[in-house]
Structure formats: C-alpha cells, structure tokens
Amino acid sequence: MVTLVLLLLLLVPLYFFFKKPAGLPPGPWGLPVVGKLPDTTVDICTQVNRLRKTHGDIILWRMGSRLHLFLCEYNVIKEALARLEFTDRPDYHTYNAFAEEGIRGILSGNGLPWRNIRRSSLRHLRDLGMGKTRLEESIHYEAKCLVKELRKTTDKVQPLSMCVVLAVYNVVNKMVADKRYEMDDPKGLEFVDKILTVNQKLQGPVFFFNVFPILVTLAPSFLKKKLGLYDLEEAAKFINDATSETVQEHKAKLDPSKPRDLIDHLLIDHQENDQDPSDNNEKLSIQATITELFLAGTETTSTTMKWSILYFIKHPDVQHKLHEEIDSVFPKGTLPYYHERNKLPYLEATMHEIHRIATMAPMAAAHVSSQDTYFHGYSIPKGTIIVPFLECCHNNPLVWENPDQFNPGRFLNPDGTFNTRREGFIAFGTGRRACVGENIARVEVFVLLVALLQNFTFTKVPGEVLSTEKDPKDIIINVPKQYNVIITERQ
Ligand code: HEM
C-alpha cells in the first residue's frame, strides 16, 4: 500500500510535468524525454502528409527534446515567415559544426551580425553582376566549357559527370573568390566532391544531435562515430580550412581601390567598420559566409540539373518538345539571356515543374521562434523549431492536380505562354530569410539547360529502372538516386 502511494506521488507530478500543455497546435507528442522520433524508413514528407489528414496544415511534433512546428500550406508558410519572431535559425549542432569560435555566417547566423552580412553580401553580389549581364556571361562561359567536356563522354553508359557540379560551383566561385577550375582539374573535382559529401553528412542520423542537443556532450565516442558526427566534423574542417586559406590569400593581396570579388568587398567593409583591430569576429563571419554560400549554392543548383536530366530521360516527349522550342529560337551557338526567357515558355514551365516535383530544399532551412508567441490561435513556445515544409506545399492535391505526375503543362496558360502567377510555388523560400542566390540559380539552370539541350539528347540505358522516389534520409536536399545516362550528340 505504502509503495503504491509513493508510486502515485511520483507518477502524478511526472504526468503533469510531461503532459502536453494546453493551447499548443495538434500533433504527435510521444513519450517523455524522447518525444516521438520519425520513422527513418519512410520519407518525412509522407509522414507529415499522413498527420495532416487528422491535424491540418499546422502540426506540432515533439521530436527528442525539441518541438517542431511543421507548416504545410503555402499561405500559412508565407504568413509565418513574414513574422519577425520566426526569423532566426536554431542552435542546431549541424550549423555549429561549421562555426569557428561559434561565429556563424549568412545562412546560419542570427541577429544584427546576420542582418549586416546578408545586406552587404546581397549588395555586393548585385554590384558583382548578380541580376545583370556580367553574371550571365560567366554562366555562358561555363555552359560552353561543360558542353565541350560532356562531348568527350558521348555514346557511353555512365552516371552524369561531376563536371555539371563543377560548372555550377565555378559560377559562385567566380563571384565570391574570383576563381574557377577547368572542367578536368582534379583539384576542382575533389573540392566539389567534398561539398557534396558535406551535404550528405548533414542528412541522416547526425540529425539526432539536433533534436537531442544533450547528446553532443553526453554521447560516448562510439555513438558519435556511428551517427556520423565525426565524419561531419571532418568534412566541415576540410571546407573551413579551404575557405580560411582563400580569405587569407585575399587579405594578403587586397587592393581596396580594386575589389575583385565578394571576399574583397567584405574585407573592405571590415576594414572600414572595424573599431577594434583585435576583434576577429567579423573576419570569421566572412569566412563562415563564404563557406555557406558554397554549400548552399552548389548542391541545390547542381541537383536541379541532375533531376532535370532524369526527368528528360523518363519523359522523352518533354525533351523532344524542349529540343523543338529551343531550336526554333536559339539554335546551337546562340545562348540566351534570362530576360529572353519569354521566348522559351515550355522550358520555363519545365524548370518550374522540376523545382516543384523534386523540391530541392524540402523543408527550406529550419527557423526558430525567438519568443513565446501565438500563431493561428495556437501558443508557440520560444525555442520551437519552425519548419516551412515546402515539399508538402508542392504536392498538395488541393493546389496541384495529380501532384505526383510530372507535367510542365500545369505552368502554362491555355495560349502556351508561361503562367507567372501560379500560386503555391515556393521553391526558394520567402520572407527575410528567402534564398540569397535565387537569381543566380534560376539563370544558371536556364542557360545550362539550353546549352545542353541544343547539343545533346539524353536517353535511358535500356533495361535500367529509373526511380524518381525520394530517399527517406534526404531531409535537407532531395537528391535523386544515382542513375546512368547515354548522351548523344545532336546533329
Ligand atoms: C535551385 C537552387 C536553390 C534552391 C532551390 C534554394 C532554396 C533555398 C531555400 C528554400 C532557402 C531557405 C529559405 C528559408 O530559410 O526560409 C535558401 C536559403 C539560402 N540560399 Fe538558396 N537555393 C538555391 C540556390 C542557391 C544559390 C545558388 C545560393 C548562393 C550562391 C544560395 C544561397 C542561399 C543562402 C545564403 C540562404 C540562406 C539565407 C538566409 O538565411 O538569410 N542558394 N535557399
């Protein structure tokens, strides 16, 4: 009897301590301490879509020790990301792995340092040609180099060459560090391979350190190794060391009257603003920003190219229409500028459909609530992770008819022109943290696809099964499964 009373005395307060507080949005609460962990064998979008049937578009899911607020509808996401208190990034360990001395950059930073570096980076990127012909000329150059390199690989069965990734990386590298690699340069190929490796290490089980931050301190070494933490730290060190060296080289050769690239511009800003010369924070913030631009800008865009070719192989009819459209306005040897995209409405529609169906950044990048607040009548505690679930928006059957079907036509008006006002498309995020490189990415994909389609036909390897299924571990970037392709020169 005494044991029973003691047990009750212990359990009742524990029940109230761990019970889901009233007023929170609906969704899985799970067990004390561990919450409810996602099923790692099913992709997270499918799992959230199942919850959506009972809970609606705003779902609170306690994973580990963290509350995650999944926002699954276009207008809900737009409204949330316009809110100041949902602007910050969380203290995820995967972000910290890149932050030397805790200093973060443009993607993972917060507060005034983030606002300053975002504002000045955007201004300088525009001065350096973003949104202007100067950027396009550098993309034209990369497109020509890529076509030349791929020509060496025609009529063979092989995976898509890493040169596609290198061409994309070169565009960002030129603006950021005034450098580019030749398509067959082993150093360049090694570097882009590392960038892809970092992004892969960021996905998968290392995520547990984000939802159980205490594990970073308490987990034994074997567990950290098993969950991929050491691999991530090693890959982050490689990228950070390379970026640090690049920034040092720039500092040594800096001529404030002739800035060559983004690093020079940011260093000049630093010299002009620096009150205390021993303050290293701003320099580390430049370094972190450069690393994050390379990481955010390379895999997303090159993966868009990989999904594009995959869909061209799977849908030869779409590829054929693209060949016809491009040949009729920009025959081989004439590359378009982005402002001429209205001459290629079918290509524009196809690019949008690829962004929609593949959704490169399925959950954008996590935000966090910086204060206790209310959203749609629900109470949202400070520290809740805000997940703008772009992929769920892109496969919402109420907005997109047969969302699983690849259909560029959904972005066309009845007269064949591109439908610029298609609501519900949100591949680059929205609000204060919207993608900094949207313009670069759009122009890159447009020009590179025109150049490739002018010159080549991409076909499936007979007998090979092509899968467009998402990998359940891809929570940051949706990467297509490795596939082979046969590239044939067009006459
Ligand atoms: C197809 C290509 C791309 C896609 C789909 C994409 C998508 C996104 C998305 C969804 C976000 C998160 C928005 C949010 O947190 O609410 C983002 C952020 C960001 N992207 Fe991109 N992106 C692409 C290419 C690029 C490129 C080429 C660059 C740079 C050269 C870039 C730089 C960034 C940066 C720095 C951020 C963080 C902005 C901030 O936190 O203030 N992205 N991108």
328: CA distance to ligand 1 center in Å? 33
Check residues 54 and 194 and name the one with the higher pLDDT: 54
Give the confidence band of 328 by pLDDT, cuts at 50, 70, 90.
very high
Give the confidence band of 475 by pLDDT, cuts at 50, 70, 90.
confident
Query: At 486, is the secondary structure helix, strand, or coil?
Result: strand
> Which atom in ligand 1 lies closest to the alpha carbon of residue 118?
41
Give the confidence band of 128 by pLDDT, cuts at 50, 70, 90.
confident
Residue 277, pLDDT > 60, answer no
Check residues 311 and 275 and name the one with the higher pLDDT: 311
Q: Which two tokens stand for residue 247?
A: 């920034």
Where is mean pLDDT largest: 17-26, 30-39, 176-185?
A: 176-185
* Predicted local confidence at residue 19, as pLDDT: 78
Give the confidence band of 471 by pLDDT, cuts at 50, 70, 90.
confident
Residue 221 CB contacts under 8 Å (≥ 6 apart), including other chains? none
The span from the CA of 395 to the CA of 48, in Å, is 12
The span from the CA of 264 to the CA of 278, in Å, is 19
Weakest-pLDDT range from 154-168, 232-246, 393-407: 232-246
The response to whether residue 301 sits with its C-beta less than 6 Å from ligand 1 reads yes
Give nearest CA residue, ligand 1 atom 19.
Answer: 435
Give the confidence band of 338 by pLDDT, cuts at 50, 70, 90.
very high
Give nearest CA residue, ligand 1 atom 17.
Answer: 435
Domain locations in the chain as residue ranges: 2-489
* Predicted local confidence at residue 99, as pLDDT: 84
> Which atom in ligand 1 lies closest to the alpha carbon of residue 125?
30
Q: Helix H segments across 179-228?
A: 186-202, 208-211, 215-218, 221-226
**Ligand 1 pocket: which of 291, 338, 435, 439 to mutate (most atoms within 8 A of CB):** 435
* Predicted local confidence at residue 283, as pLDDT: 79
Alpha-carbon torsion 140, 142, 145, 150, what sign? negative
Could you report the per-residue pLDDT of 37-50, keeping only the tens digit for each? 999 889 888 999 99
Residue 13, pLDDT > 80, answer no
The response to whether residue 361 sits with its C-beta less than 6 Å from ligand 1 reads yes
Class of domain 2-489: mainly alpha
* Predicted local confidence at residue 280, as pLDDT: 76
* Predicted local confidence at residue 279, as pLDDT: 64
- How big is the CA angle at 475 (ends 433 and 183), to the nearest 5 degrees? 80
Residue 297, pLDDT > 60, answer yes
The response to whether residue 107 sits with its C-beta less than 6 Å from ligand 1 reads yes
Sole residue written with tokens 């995520």:
207
Of the candidates 485, 191, 478, 203, the residue with the CA atom closest to the CA atom of residue 360: 478
414: CA distance to ligand 1 center in Å? 32
301: CA distance to ligand 1 center in Å? 10
The response to whether residue 441 sits with its C-beta less than 6 Å from ligand 1 reads yes
Question: Is 0.85 topped by the overall pTM?
Answer: yes
Q: Is 435 annotated as a binding residue?
A: yes
CA dihedral 385, 386, 392, 398 (to 10 degrees): 140
> Which atom in ligand 1 lies closest to the alpha carbon of residue 359?
5
Neighbours of 481 (CB within 10 A): 12
29: CA distance to ligand 1 center in Å? 31
**How, if at all, do strands 66-71 and 385-388 pair?**
parallel
The response to whether residue 63 sits with its C-beta less than 6 Å from ligand 1 reads no
* Predicted local confidence at residue 365, as pLDDT: 95
> Which atom in ligand 1 lies closest to the alpha carbon of residue 121?
35
Give the confidence band of 327 by pLDDT, cuts at 50, 70, 90.
very high
* Predicted local confidence at residue 6, as pLDDT: 63
364: CA distance to ligand 1 center in Å? 8
Cβ(420)–Cβ(341) below 8 Å: no
The response to whether residue 394 sits with its C-beta less than 6 Å from ligand 1 reads no
The response to whether residue 165 sits with its C-beta less than 6 Å from ligand 1 reads no
Neighbours of 312 (CB within 10 A): 25
Give the confidence band of 7 by pLDDT, cuts at 50, 70, 90.
low
Where is mean pLDDT largest: 125-129, 179-183, 473-477?
A: 179-183
* Predicted local confidence at residue 103, as pLDDT: 86
